[in-house]
Structure 1
Amino acid sequence: MKEKSIPALVYNEVSEKEVPILAEEKNLQTITAEPWLKISDKGMQLEGLCFDRESNLFLLEVFGGQVFKVTLPKKEITTIVGANNLNLAALKIHKDGRLFLCALGDFESKGGIFSIQPDGSNMEVIIPDSAGYCVDDLVFDSKGGFYFTDFRGHSSNPVGGVYYVSPDFQTITPILQNMAGPNGVALSVDERRLWVAETNANRLHHVELMEDGVTIPPFGASVPYHFTGLLGPDSCCIDSDDNLYVAMYEQGRVLIFNKKGYPIGQILIPGREYGHMLRSTHPAFIPGTDQLIICSNDGDGGEGSWLYTAKGFAKGKMGYQFQQ
């Protein structure tokens, strides 16, 4: 008697890839970014892309703490802050020209926010490490205050949150709490909606804000999207049409959402299909253009740390640092 064959699973194009794109995301408008500038031959954890009024680019390296400046158009790289143990995670520019640095500190309770001059001098404390936060990112509003994420907590111990700091930097007000590693944060063009990427829970949060910037109206906070895969959403930014660009860490891509929270496109980092350059952390627009710069690195994969470029759906939103 002939033995009946047993059904067997086989690898296909999706299952054999290290970071497959899910079916519901595979049909999104998809483009592949181009290399723009190599920062290092080593796998440095690049983060914190931010342009000044002269379109010079600042960025940092998380685990080494260095802050770099890329002078355009020549793309000359200089180091303005040397190696340190602050574990810097983001950089934003105040309208007075100071660079605000978000520090993760010891990743448990001793981070903070510091300001420096554009040449790296005169470091001042904005939020001290004694406050107990591990600050990952911030975004300024037009009043001079800012929202920041406290990147603490994991899936079964959600102790992180999102907070608002008053323009005089004296009052800290909780916005969202009980979160698992909130990471990137972005503010809508009208400043009445806040986006937050919660890395350790793989969620995207949308928060409506009352006129005071801190009160959430009834039913005003929601989760419009759940991500898939280890680690998850990292830093983010918006364009002038209120589309949200979210870097996906360990996935080598940026997902784009419209202002209603629906995914409408994605930008892939070249090499991701072979398991390289997966550590995409942050997108940022060159001022006055629709051109995005995206940072990523290859970890121990041997292909170093790069900035990539592609064009978004609209021009980038002009941030607080461009206000007079």
Structure 2
Amino acid sequence: MKKRGWAIMALLVVFLVAAGFAGTKAANDKKSAAKGERHDISEIIPSKAKWEKVVTGDGGFMEGINFDRDGKIWMVSPMSGELLAVEDGEVEFVKEYPGPVGAKFHNDGRLFITDISGVIHAYDPETGDSKVVISTYQGEPLNGLNDLVFDQDGGLYFTEPMGSSATNPVGRVFYVPADSTEPELFAEKIAYPNGVAISADGLRVYISEFAKNRVLAIPAKNAPPSPETPFIFGQYEGGIGPDGLAVDDKGNLYIAHFQAGEIVVQDASGFSYGTIRLPEGAGTFTTNLTFQDGYLYVTESSKNEVWRIQVKENGLPLYGAQ
């Protein structure tokens, strides 16, 4: 009985310390309560901004949009197994892969590509060489992979959704330190982890839980100790679920809402600005998005089109742009 009493006392002390830490942090934030609506999409999109069609591809299922340092667009298509680039206003075939889904540039210039075959390729645009850099976890093959993002130290997060669903939430997310090729388990029991992004301050990882139509926020692998725990950052309605994610330099999160034909925008506290709907006549398969030169670029994969719209904020500088 005495031991139990000491255990309860110890837990109470831990709780009070955590609560005090959280209370101190909240007090130091000195935020004021919002009056009326917190946000409006006009804070993100200029009043005269209009969607512009950038390019249309032939077949495939275009997603994984990226810009290299020269401003060239790169994409992938898992359905046709192609790495693609835009040359002179046309979508051009670059290289064949089993099922490329996501792509991000490393700061050494290589393009890292997740594949539904369960591997990550590293493609060198300078030489055309490609090699598999990650294919196993603890000696076992990985399942089909989807998206990836580098943190500012060069560590790599990637999602493994294949085989998971709303009724079978067995998807996983991994982290690979910058000096390693061995994945570490970062999160599990997720209903189809799809897109992944890192908050502007580097302390959170955003994960699209596609099969539950929501985005999760989880403390980053290298974040300092904090009372913050994994939580639901955003829950959406309509469509199927969130796909690709992007963050601007103010910390706002942009979510490609698949089969809703829209981009959802939330601030760093999870409050909504609203949505940016694709123009009339566009498809609804919004898959991925990225920023470039004052524009938000979006891939729509049912009609294989890339659209862009002017935005007031700049994209968070990615590791590959360093």
Taking structure 1 as the reference length, the TM-score comes to: 0.78
CA contact (8 A) 1:80 1:120 kept: no
How far 1:268 moved relative to its partner? 1.1
How far 1:52 moved relative to its partner? 0.8
Aligned to 1:10: none
Aligned to 1:89: 101
CA contact (8 A) 1:89 1:135 kept: yes
Percent identical: 27
Query: Structure 2 vs 1, CA of residues 172 and 217 (structure 1 numbering), >3 Å: closer, same or farther?
Result: farther
1:188 aligns with 2:176: no
For residues 245 and 178 of structure 1, the distance between their equivalents in structure 2, rounded to whole angstroms, comes to 24
How far 1:60 moved relative to its partner? 1.2
How far 1:145 moved relative to its partner? 1.2
CA contact (8 A) 1:185 1:194 kept: yes
Aligned to 2:145: 135
Aligned to 1:285: 291
How far 1:216 moved relative to its partner? 7.1
1:61 aligns with 2:77: yes
1:146 aligns with 2:160: no
Aligned to 1:177: 188
Aligned to 1:24: none
Instruction: String of CA shifts for 1:43-62, please: whole Å, max 9, x gaps.
Output: x3111011111111101112
Query: Structure 2 vs 1, CA of residues 176 and 118 (structure 1 numbering), >3 Å: closer, same or farther?
Result: same
Aligned to 2:128: 121
1:225 aligns with 2:242: no
Which of residues 75, 81, 86 in structure 2 aligns to 1:70? 86
SS in structure 2 of the partner of residue 200 of structure 1? helix
**Which residues in structure 2 correspond to 1:187-206 (within 5 Å)?**
187-206=198-217
How far 1:170 moved relative to its partner? 2.9
Instruction: String of CA shifts for 1:147-192, please: whole Å, max 9, x gaps.
Output: 1111131111111121110112333222221001011111122211
How far 1:311 moved relative to its partner? 2.1
How far 1:245 moved relative to its partner? 0.6
CA contact (8 A) 2:78 2:101 kept: yes
Query: Structure 2 vs 1, CA of residues 243 and 136 (structure 1 numbering), >3 Å: closer, same or farther?
Result: same
Query: Structure 2 vs 1, CA of residues 218 and 162 (structure 1 numbering), >3 Å: closer, same or farther?
Result: farther
For residues 224 and 187 of structure 1, the distance between their equivalents in structure 2, rounded to whole angstroms, comes to 13
SS in structure 1 of the partner of residue 218 of structure 2? strand
Which of residues 249, 269, 277 in structure 2 aligns to 1:268? 277
How far 1:246 moved relative to its partner? 0.5
**Which residues in structure 2 correspond to 1:150-161 (within 5 Å)?**
150-152=160-162, 153-161=164-172
How far 1:36 moved relative to its partner? 2.4
Amino acid at match of 1:89: V
Instruction: String of CA shifts for 1:211-244, please: whole Å, max 9, x gaps.
Output: x25x874442100221223521000111111111
Amino acid at match of 1:131: P
Give every structure 1 segment of 4 or more consecutive aligned residues whose post-TM-superposition deviation is greater than 6 Å.
none
Aligned to 2:317: 318
SS in structure 2 of the partner of residue 118 of structure 1? coil
For residues 312 and 235 of structure 1, the distance between their equivalents in structure 2, rounded to whole angstroms, comes to 18
Query: Structure 2 vs 1, CA of residues 174 and 244 (structure 1 numbering), >3 Å: closer, same or farther?
Result: same
1:100 aligns with 2:144: no
CA contact (8 A) 1:104 1:151 kept: no
Amino acid at match of 1:174: L
CA contact (8 A) 1:126 1:169 kept: no
Amino acid at match of 1:247: A
For residues 103 and 127 of structure 2, the distance between their equivalents in structure 1, rounded to whole angstroms, comes to 12
Q: Which runs of 5+ in 1 are unaligned?
A: 1-26, 106-110, 299-303
Aligned to 2:28: none
For residues 116 and 166 of structure 2, the distance between their equivalents in structure 1, rounded to whole angstroms, comes to 19
For residues 271 and 120 of structure 1, the distance between their equivalents in structure 2, rounded to whole angstroms, comes to 41
Structure with bigger helix share is 2
Taking structure 2 as the reference length, the TM-score comes to: 0.79
**Which residues in structure 2 correspond to 1:11-90 (within 5 Å)?**
29=41, 34-42=51-59, 44-71=60-87, 74-82=88-96, 84=97, 86-90=98-102
Query: Structure 2 vs 1, CA of residues 179 and 113 (structure 1 numbering), >3 Å: closer, same or farther?
Result: same
Aligned to 1:20: none
